[in-house]
Structure 1
Amino acid sequence: MRKVKKIMALALSAALVVVSLAGCGSEANTENTAPKASDTLIYAQGSEPRGLDPALVDDGESAKVMSNIYEGLLKYNKDSTKVEPSLAKSWDVSPDGLTYTFHLQEGVKFQDGTDFNAEAVKFNIDRQLPPQVTEDMAYAPFVYGSVKDVEVVDTNTVKINLKAPSTPFLNNLAMIMAAPMISPKALKDNNNNVNQAPVGTGPYKFVKWEKDQNIVLVRNDDYWGTKANIKNVIFKFIKDNSARVVALNNGEADIIDGIDSTVVKQITDAGNKIFQAPGMNINYMAYNTSRKPFNDQKVRVAVSQAINVPELVESLYQGYSEPATSILPSFMEGYDKSISQVAYDPTAAAKTLKDAGITSLHMITYTNPRPYNAATGQSLAEAIQGYLSKVGVQVTIDSFDWTTYKQKLKAGDYDLAFYGWIGDNGDPDNFLYLLSVDDPTMNIALYKNDEFNSLIAKGLTTPAGDDRNAIYTQLEKIAADDAAWLPISHAQTLCAYQPNVENFYFHMTGITPFAGVVKK
């Protein structure tokens, strides 16, 4: 009961904050009743966000929270990555594909009361363009790399001029990383970093962040669009998978993520529900191609030959993930079923590795579940450690929490590492681009290939259609032949929720919008 009381106390605290934030003459100040359980939604996730500034983070845990605070010029359809109006109510594209003119919603305010307008759009984009862009803005080159400059036409009209045509540009502007609009005042007041003090235009406002505990949001009652149904949202951090299930089944959480096949029956037997949908993701192991022994393609192939991927996926994920035969999900443009990864051949693997004198390797992994790997990085690492021991290679595993793990990736001191990707925008470039960038927290294989990079650049400017799809198919073939990654699986999206929660969905891009959720 102690945990339940603690959660209810937190819900009460969040509700009181809502009252205190309201104006002196507001209706909220006239309410003296205690908050109802239906006023507060508790979402339990496996790890803490890295931050809440869309320009400065690149992780899914941050995305879930930010998707409720911020909005971009565009947004995705609930059931796809088709773009729809958001802060921009309409847009025009010049015949040469170099100028995008956005007509903005009128009368929108940031959560600090300042105006959203064309100047705010320019401020947000200029912040992520040279010379202002900083090294820690990982997504800036991806979203705005093709942007030449931004022009304010009038208060509610802004032009974005490109250096070259960019086929995925509109899709990029609906992403939760880099694209959302932040209050310029908040950025100025917080030294260009609102990781701890986010201010957007979205349906929920930030209240507080208790490190290692939770993040509290309250409904933005001045929101320009349809107001959220639930008053308070609490993102609670529970690292252990089984502890999250207990929290759900005990009524201490309304929704949990990061579940796997082993707990589905336990959840449904308790009367709770499962959210299940195809995932737009890839779960993989990367070879550090920047140093020995994995600067040698033959050695990379040999290690891949040692691992029975279909067997591994069935054992770990019990039918809730499918073996990856490609980096791209099978429903994405550019996917080609003829592409195959390195085939399982432990005899050939053992010979090549022995001839190369490789008897030990250093592997790093993460301890928490990820949307593309609900079994946790530790379980995946140990499974691959077992396969490699059968071909005469002993693997040392170092495991870290997610935030520390990202720093270890940046340092580059590993032979093998695990990662994954949730598609941001539904475009194949979003996946294959990862093998072309210099950022070591995205291209963790540290892979460099001039032919590959040239094709990436070509794909960006090629109009949608068969010719463009063929470019990404070719990129897939190069990646498979070079074996910079061992693609492992494409995970289904699995979450669980209380039966009194309605309209919850986990979008294929990894965000959890709560404005439409109802708790009865």
Structure 2
Amino acid sequence: MSRLKWYGIGLVIGIVIVLFTSVLQIKTNLIADLMHWWEFNQHKETALIIGRANDAIGLDPAVVTDQESLKVTINLYDTLVVYDRSGASVEPSLAESWSVSDNGLVWHFKIRQGVVFHDNTPLDAQAVIFNFNRWMDPSNPYHAGHFSYWNLSFGGFPGIVDHVRAISDDVVEIKLSEPYAPFLNTLAMPAFGIASPEAIKTYNEALKYKPVGTGPFIFESWNENGEIKLTKNSLYWGAKPKVDALIFKSIISHRERYVKLKGSEIHIAYDLPAQISNELEEEDELTLSRRPVFNVGYLAFNMSNKHLKLANVREAIGHMIDKDAMIEAAFDATTRPASTFVPPVLWGHHEGIESIAYDVDEAKRLLRKVGIRETIELNLLLMDSPREYFPNPVSLGLFLKDSFAKAGIDLHLEILPWEEVIAKSKNGDYDMVLAGWNGDVADPDNFLYNFFASENTSKGLITNYSLYHNQEVDNLLSQARQMNDQSFRESLYREIQELIALEIPAIPLIHTMPTIGLSKTVKGFVPHISGVEPLNLVELKEVAK
């Protein structure tokens, strides 16, 4: 056979092979495309949708104090240590271990290795120190905003923190100027979530709109309707999220939240009143969860007001409030009247203190005693939307207005959006204010120090809404912070509550038991005593019919 013929046969075979390979490649690509399409359609995004009464104020935990913000940020940021799911003890988080000197002043935290922020920058000792310097140093260029939790926890800037420095690449030393019994619990608060230093440098004060942490979820969007979306952090160092996304929706109306829960438009509905809770329990596809009673709602008097600086006037107002009637008018059957500012479930609660008795005639007598015989006018600042401790704040305001009128006080209600109430409260711009607190940690200090320490009256950072100054109370609060003996600390907190009950800078009104509605598809949800919980262990599962 001639060479030319062989060339021809070879050419034909080559063409056949090329054609066969091309067809095979096309089929292979088609099969791969079909497999990707199948996988995509088999795994649709699972989004856990949460309905709450109010939008977040900001997503930088260091500069917010409201629960709506912290409910989101706890899923974006990690702290050095974290509460267990019961809230009873502290566990490792970004710090995998720690130690403290015998005198309680020097703490060493070993930083977990291999953790990255959502912007792919690494976590190390220097990143932790960068955050502490931002929080504690007002001259730091990134100390932008009101760092209320730092001020409350550490007594100013820098307060009792002497220094924060690196011992090595993965060990941070924190030295205190005096012992601080709640120190470890304090570091577990969501306010001390560690943010990416690079993100802080890039966004500074705008970090509250562009959060970057190490948490189980990553920020995606926040729209003008108050809807916030977080997506799963696939590189999370801890327990991986069981859903692909979290969506927080702002739904002011209790009834609307319930209707959307019933209609499967949301999976979790926070803060439902008793009437709706009773309806919910009749629904086969829904279930109910309750938080422990770990809050207090109260009426704070601005003691710089010419009338309210008089103890007889403050006591008179106490006699004007019928707490049983108040609960019937503005709360539900799970609400308890408060006689002091420490919740009954918390150690240090003083069960021997009783509420001021309802007695309008005694109220009038006390007003006359200080020369008030004509009607006086006072302003009450309150929010226009529900809080966990005030589910119906406007109804409460109207009840107080009617009650005060019986004894000759004309109460003007200044009803404002929550963000404006916070701004005015932090600056002391009111005569009286409806205030409340959900406990962050299981320690009376978290209530009594925040409400009544003289240190907490600086404009812009006020949490002592009464502007109350009492050196004996300050000394007792300081002493209790420095002692580790819980029984001794308890005796100090009981003494403080007795002093507060005598001077009446504020009146404790109620403790509520917040109710949460859940779809039965929600599994693994555990309500945290503090009012905020990470949701990475929550999943959605179809219910067998």
| TM-score when normalising by structure 1 | 0.90
Q: Which residue number corresponds to residue 12 of structure 1?
A: none
Q: Say yes or no: does 1:362 pair with 2:369.
A: no
Tell me whether 228-237 or 473-482 shows the greater mean CA deviation.
Answer: 473-482
The amino acid across from 1:476 in the alignment is Q
Match for residue 49 of structure 1?
56
Distance 1:97 1:358, change over 3 A: farther
Going by fraction, where is helix more abundant, 1 or 2?
2
1:143 is aligned to: 153
Tell me if 1:33 matches 2:41. yes
Q: Does 1:322 align with 2:329?
A: no
Conservation of the 8 A alpha-carbon contact between 1:333 and 1:428: yes
Aligned partner of 1:122: which letter?
Answer: I
Aligned to 2:424: 408
Partner SS state of residue 165, structure 1: coil
Contact 2:330 2:393 in 1 (8 A): no
Take 1:350 and 1:257, find their aligned partners in 2: how far apart are those partners?
41
Query: 1:146: Cα distance to partner?
Result: 2.1
Aligned to 2:280: 267
Cα offset, 1:67, TM superposition = 0.8
- SS, match of residue 152 in structure 2: helix
Question: Residue in 2 aligned with 1:74?
Answer: 81
Matched, 1:304 2:321: no
Q: Which runs of 5+ in 1 are unaligned?
A: 1-26
TM-score (norm. length: structure 2): 0.86
How many residue pairs were aligned?
A: 491
Deviation, structure 1 residue 441: 4.2
Query: Mapping of 1:322-471 within 5 angstroms?
Result: 322-354=336-368, 355-356=371-372, 357-374=374-391, 376-434=392-450, 435-436=452-453, 437-439=456-458, 441-471=462-492
Distance in 2 (CA, whole Å) between partners of 1:184 and 1:135 is 16
Q: Deviations over 1:408-446 (max 9, x none)?
A: 223433222101001111111110112111245422222
Matched-pair contact (CA < 8 Å) for 1:493–1:506: no
The structural deviation recorded for 1:36 is 3.5
Contact 1:75 / 1:85 at 8 angstroms: preserved in 2?
yes
Deviates more, 1:443-452 or 1:487-496: 443-452
Residue 217 (structure 1) aligned with residue 195 (structure 2): no
Look up the match of 1:14: none
Contact map agreement 1:73 1:173 (CA 8 A) in 2 = yes
User: Does residue 241 of structure 2 align to residue 228 of structure 1?
Assistant: yes
Match of 1:62 among 62, 69, 80: 69
CA distance in 1, matches of 2:119, 2:173: 25
Cα deviation, residue 462, structure 1: 1.5
Q: CA deviation at 1:287?
A: 0.9
| Pairwise CA distance, 1:292 | 1.6
Q: Secondary structure at the match of 2:190?
A: coil
CA distance in 2, matches of 1:415, 1:330: 29
Residues of 2 paired with 1:477 and 1:120: CA distance?
Answer: 44
Paired with 1:183 and 1:215, the residues of 2 have a C-alpha distance of 20
Residue 9 of structure 1 corresponds to none
Ranges of 4+ aligned residues in structure 1 off by more than 6 Å? 27-30
Mapping for residues 90-101 of structure 1, pairs under 5 Å: 90-101=97-108
**C-alpha distance in structure 2 between counterparts of 1:371 and 1:381, whole Å:** 16
Does the CA-based 8 Å contact 1:342-1:483 persist in structure 2?
no
8 Å Cα contact 1:206/1:216 also seen in 2: yes
What SS does the corresponding residue of 2:228 show, helix, strand or coil? strand
Counterpart contact for 2:81–2:188, Cα < 8 Å: yes
Alignment match, 1:23:
none
CA shift at 1:472, angstroms?
0.9
- Opposite residue 350 of structure 1, the aligned amino acid is K
- The Cα of 1:361 is off from its aligned counterpart by 1.8
| CA drift at 1:363 | 1.2
Does the CA-based 8 Å contact 1:98-1:163 persist in structure 2? yes
1:103 alignment partner, one of 110, 120, 123: 110
Asked whether the equivalents of residues 319 and 359 of structure 2 are also in contact (C-alpha less than 8 Å), the reply is yes
Q: Does 1:119 align with 2:126?
A: yes
Deviation larger for 354-363 or 85-94: 354-363
8 Å Cα contact 1:327/1:431 also seen in 2: yes
Code of the residue aligned with 1:438 in structure 2: it is T
Q: Does 2:492 correspond to 1:479?
A: no
Deviation at 1:213, TM superposition (A): 2.8
Q: Could you list the per-position Cα deviations for residues 45-84 of structure 1 after superposition, in whole angstroms to 9, with x for gaps in the alignment?
A: 1111110111111111101000101110011111124111
Q: Which moved more, 1:272-281 or 1:115-124?
A: 272-281
Tell me, in whole angstroms, the C-alpha distance in 2 between the residues paired with 1:28 and 1:514.
29
Give, in whole Å, the separation in 1 of the partners of 2:304 and 2:260. Answer: 43
Could you give the per-residue CA deviations for residues 9-64 of structure 1, whole angstroms, max 9, x where no partner exists?
A: xxxxxxxxxxxxxxxxxx99995328647x01110111111101111111111010
Paired with 2:529 and 2:422, the residues of 1 have a C-alpha distance of 23
> Shift of the alpha carbon at 1:105?
1.3
SS at match of 2:517: strand
Distance change >3 Å, CA 450–CA 222, structure 1 → 2? same
**Cα distance, 1:496 vs structure 2:** 0.5
Paired residues of 2:90 and 2:185 also in contact (CA < 8 A): yes
How far does residue 191 in structure 1 lie from its aligned partner after superposition? Answer: 2.3
Q: Could you tell me how far apart the structure 2 residues matched to 1:288 and 1:143 are?
A: 23
Distance apart, 1:463 and its partner CA? 1.7
- Pick closer, same or farther for the CA change 1:194–1:81 going to 2, 3 Å: farther
Give me the whole-angstrom Cα distance separating, in 2, the residues matched to 1:193 and 1:312: 41
C-alpha distance in structure 1 between counterparts of 2:537 and 2:505, whole Å: 41
Letter paired with 1:32: F
Which residue number in structure 1 is paired with residue 250 of structure 2?
237
Q: 1:463 to 1:411 in 2, by over 3 A?
A: closer
CA deviation after TM superposition for structure 1 residue 285, in Å: 1.0
**Superposition deviation, residue 473 in structure 1:** 0.9
Secondary structure of 2:63 counterpart: coil
Match of 1:6 in 2: none
Which protein has the larger Cα radius of gyration, Structure 1 or Structure 2? 2
Please state how far the C-alpha of 1:346 moved relative to its aligned partner.
Answer: 1.4
Change (3 A) 1:142 1:409: closer
Write the distance in 2 (CA, Å) between the matches of 1:377 and 1:189.
39
1:142-221 alignment, distance < 5 Å = 142-144=152-154, 145-177=159-191, 179-221=192-234
2:457 partner SS: coil
Shift of 1:401: 1.3
Please give the per-residue CA displacement for 1:285-328, whole angstroms capped at 9, x wherever unaligned. 11111222111111011001110123322443332111112100
Q: State the alpha-carbon separation in 1 of the partners of residues 259 and 38 from structure 2.
A: 37
Which range moves more in the overlay, 233-242 or 332-341? 332-341
- State which of 291, 296, 299 in structure 2 corresponds to 1:277: 291
Residue 159 (structure 1) shift: 0.8
SS of alignment partner, residue 68 of structure 1: coil
